């Protein structure tokens, strides 16, 4: 009897494995055929891309953690490397995250493993998802509501998956290194983008969208590989926080192998890029990150060596930004930059935001319980609820918490707020509990980045941003490692 059961189990595993391969080959073949029809001249490049994609997909199905590594690198690649399918922007990070998600579920079905990580946000975030689904019945644009709900559910699923896969400290260290390397790459591209636009290169070569070129202010607002400058600034809060944490840590007990010189270089580059985005919300997040870093790492920060390092970074960043603005070729570039960066009370953007806030609050009072439907502020606020405005897309509230309140009502808002509080409390408990200085430092850096993002969320409102939910999943994974660190050390999971 036991022998038959074992044989059936092995047969099931083999079938799952074969099925996953067939699914990949079938989907890849279909994609290749469609692309070949539309892009016949690019057939060799498409064929190469398909081969690379299949290779990566098979590697992910063999070991889903490889998918996490890939996604960690691809997080900032929102515009560069994306394709439009039926009006929806599909990014490489989303594709590989989806493959990792499928692989994770299939491996669980086959081996009954990687599905038992402790996850304190599960209950509040499940309530939020459930209430969001109920809010769809209130939507004036049903298609938009379903689409946004699915996007939200997808990124939340990624956050729930990560703690089940990142269970070893060497995996965590690789992810942190990959994030920092990716930050270095996109930051270098951001500098090229600025200099290229100033030199007169067309947007097709710089990757800048038309309304972020020098035509508007006399200097470009860099977005690097992201969709908009504010999203790029938002992403940069993660590597900046990690660099600040790793540079401020105590030396004893630290095993993280990136040299301080490289951390200084990445921090300086990322800071210059964030300043050149000219994102006022990004600046608020940046100031929050610096302020919290000084508070949390107060004791270890104030040594002569570290103070001199951070003064050097600040001076280099300031001189670099000043030099880049002068290269723009207009004497008033710096004045324009400062005026735009500090103007928070006037201008069309301020009027637009104020109008959106007032309308959102009015709609909430009219629909307090289930809101107006997930993703439906834009359709309700726009002139036509079924037609997307061509130039700007669907309007947003520009405040994530207010948008959640108006779209999914008071119960959805409270469950989302509970999720944030639980996540922060769980992370703080793990920081205080763990004796592993490396885990303590990384988790503190991630928590600081999350707080910076929450502050920037007062100025924009898109919930389904993959890098934010990747950060959330990583915070839970590191917290779990922190609570179990003595056990992990006994088992030999050392760097």
Block means of pLDDT (10 residues each) for the chain, 495 residues, are 54 56 59 55 63 85 93 93 72 93 86 81 97 96 96 97 94 96 96 92 90 89 94 98 88 64 94 95 96 87 76 86 80 78 69 88 95 96 86 87 97 98 97 92 97 96 96 97 65 37
Q: Is residue 368 part of a domain?
A: no
Regarding whether 146 and 54 lie in a shared domain, the answer is no
Percent of the chain with pLDDT over 90: 58
Instruction: Look at residue 330 in the predicted model and tell me its pLDDT.
Output: 61
Q: Is residue 110 part of a domain?
A: yes
Instruction: Look at residue 80 in the predicted model and tell me its pLDDT.
Output: 80
Q: CB of 284 within 8 A of CB of 456?
A: yes
Domain stops at, among 116, 149, 171: 116
Q: Is residue 373 part of a domain?
A: no
Instruction: Look at residue 491 in the predicted model and tell me its pLDDT.
Output: 40
The tally of domains found in the chain comes to 2
Q: Is residue 450 part of a domain?
A: yes
Regarding whether 154 and 106 lie in a shared domain, the answer is no
Instruction: Look at residue 439 in the predicted model and tell me its pLDDT.
Output: 94
Closest listed residue to residue 451, CA positions, set 245, 276, 166, 158 = 245
φ and ψ of 211, to 5 deg: -80, 10
Q: Is residue 383 part of a domain?
A: no
Instruction: Look at residue 486 in the predicted model and tell me its pLDDT.
Output: 54
Q: Is residue 281 part of a domain?
A: yes
Regarding whether 229 and 159 lie in a shared domain, the answer is yes
Reported as a single tens digit per residue, the pLDDT across 348-372 is: 677 788 889 999 999 999 999 999 9
Regarding whether 170 and 253 lie in a shared domain, the answer is yes
Q: CB of 35 within 8 A of CB of 46?
A: yes
Domain stops at, among 65, 84, 116: 116
Instruction: Look at residue 309 in the predicted model and tell me its pLDDT.
Output: 80
Regarding whether 212 and 110 lie in a shared domain, the answer is no
Contacts of 328 (CB under 8 A, 6+ apart): 198, 214, 218, 219, 220
Which residue range forms the structural domain that includes residue 17? Answer: 2-116
Instruction: Look at residue 487 in the predicted model and tell me its pLDDT.
Output: 42
Reported as a single tens digit per residue, the pLDDT across 84-102 is: 766 677 888 999 999 999 9
Regarding whether 414 and 287 lie in a shared domain, the answer is yes
Closest listed residue to residue 143, CA positions, set 102, 88, 99, 82 = 88
Q: Is residue 380 part of a domain?
A: no
Contacts of 417 (CB under 8 A, 6+ apart): 401
Instruction: Look at residue 313 in the predicted model and tell me its pLDDT.
Output: 85
Instruction: Look at residue 300 in the predicted model and tell me its pLDDT.
Output: 76
Regarding whether 174 and 82 lie in a shared domain, the answer is no
CA-CA distance, 118 to 108, in Å (whole number)?
16
Number of Cβ within 10 Å of residue 218's Cβ equals 16
To the nearest 10°, report the CA torsion of 36, 37, 40, 46: -20
Regarding whether 250 and 305 lie in a shared domain, the answer is yes
Whole-number Cα distances in Å, 324 to 193, 210, 242, 265, 332: 11, 20, 26, 18, 13
Angle between helices 466-483 and 229-248 in degrees, nearest 10: 20
Regarding whether 329 and 240 lie in a shared domain, the answer is yes
Regarding whether 147 and 112 lie in a shared domain, the answer is no
φ and ψ of 90, to 5 deg: -105, 125
Regarding whether 315 and 413 lie in a shared domain, the answer is yes
Q: Is residue 326 part of a domain?
A: yes
Q: CB of 161 within 8 A of CB of 105?
A: no
Regarding whether 166 and 95 lie in a shared domain, the answer is no
């Amino acid at each position: 009897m036991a022998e038959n059961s074992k044989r059936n189990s092995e047969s099931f595993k083999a079938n799952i494995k074969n099925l996953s391969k067939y699914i990949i080959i079938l989907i890849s073949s279909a994609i290749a055929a469609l692309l070949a029809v539309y892009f016949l001249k690019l057939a060799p490049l498409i064929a190469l891309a398909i081969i690379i994609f299949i290779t990566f997909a098979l590697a992910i199905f063999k070991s889903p953690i490889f998918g996490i590594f890939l996604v960690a690198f691809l997080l900032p690649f929102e515009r560069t490397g994306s394709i439009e399918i039926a009006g929806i922007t599909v990014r490489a990070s989303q594709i590989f995250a989806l493959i990792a998600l499928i692989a994770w579920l299939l491996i669980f079905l086959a081996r009954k493993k990687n599905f038992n990580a402790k996850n304190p946000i599960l209950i509040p975030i499940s309530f939020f998802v459930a209430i969001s689904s109920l809010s769809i019945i209130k939507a004036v644009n049903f298609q938009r509501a379903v689409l946004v709900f699915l996007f939200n559910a997808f990124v939340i699923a990624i956050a729930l998956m990560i703690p089940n896969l990142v269970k070893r400290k060497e995996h965590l260290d690789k992810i942190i290194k990959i994030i920092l390397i990716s930050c270095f790459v996109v930051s270098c591209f951001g500098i090229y983008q600025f200099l290229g636009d100033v030199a007169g290169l067309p947007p097709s070569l710089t990757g800048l969208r038309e309304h972020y070129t020098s035509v508007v202010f006399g200097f470009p607002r860099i977005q690097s590989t992201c969709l908009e400058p504010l999203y790029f600034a938002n992403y940069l809060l993660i590597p900046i926080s990690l660099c600040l944490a790793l540079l401020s840590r105590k030396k004893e007990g630290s095993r993280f192998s990136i040299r301080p010189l490289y951390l200084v270089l990445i921090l300086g580059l990322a800071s210059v890029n964030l300043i050149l985005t000219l994102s006022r919300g990004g600046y608020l997040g940046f100031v929050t990150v610096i302020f919290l870093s000084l508070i949390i790492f107060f004791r270890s920060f104030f040594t002569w060596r570290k103070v001199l390092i951070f003064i050097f970074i600040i001076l280099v960043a300031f001189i670099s930004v000043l030099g880049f603005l002068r290269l723009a070729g207009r004497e008033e570039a710096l004045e324009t930059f400062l005026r735009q960066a500090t103007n928070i009370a006037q201008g069309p953007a301020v009027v637009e935001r104020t109008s959106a806030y007032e309308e959102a609050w009015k709609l909430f009072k009219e629909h307090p319980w289930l809101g107006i439907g997930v993703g439906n502020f834009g359709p309700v606020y726009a002139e036509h609820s079924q037609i997307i405005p061509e130039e700007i897309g669907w309007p947003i509230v520009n405040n994530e918490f207010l948008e959640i309140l108006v779209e999914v009502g008071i119960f959805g808002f409270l469950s989302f707020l509970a999720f944030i509080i639980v996540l922060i409390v769980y992370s703080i408990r793990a920081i205080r509990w763990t004796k592993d200085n490396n885990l303590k430092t990384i988790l503190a850096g991630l928590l600081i980045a999350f707080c910076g993002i929450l502050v920037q969320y007062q100025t924009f409102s898109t919930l389904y941003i993959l890098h934010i939910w990747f950060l959330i999943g990583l915070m839970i994974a590191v917290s779990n490692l922190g609570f179990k660190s003595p056990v992990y050390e006994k088992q030999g999971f050392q760097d």
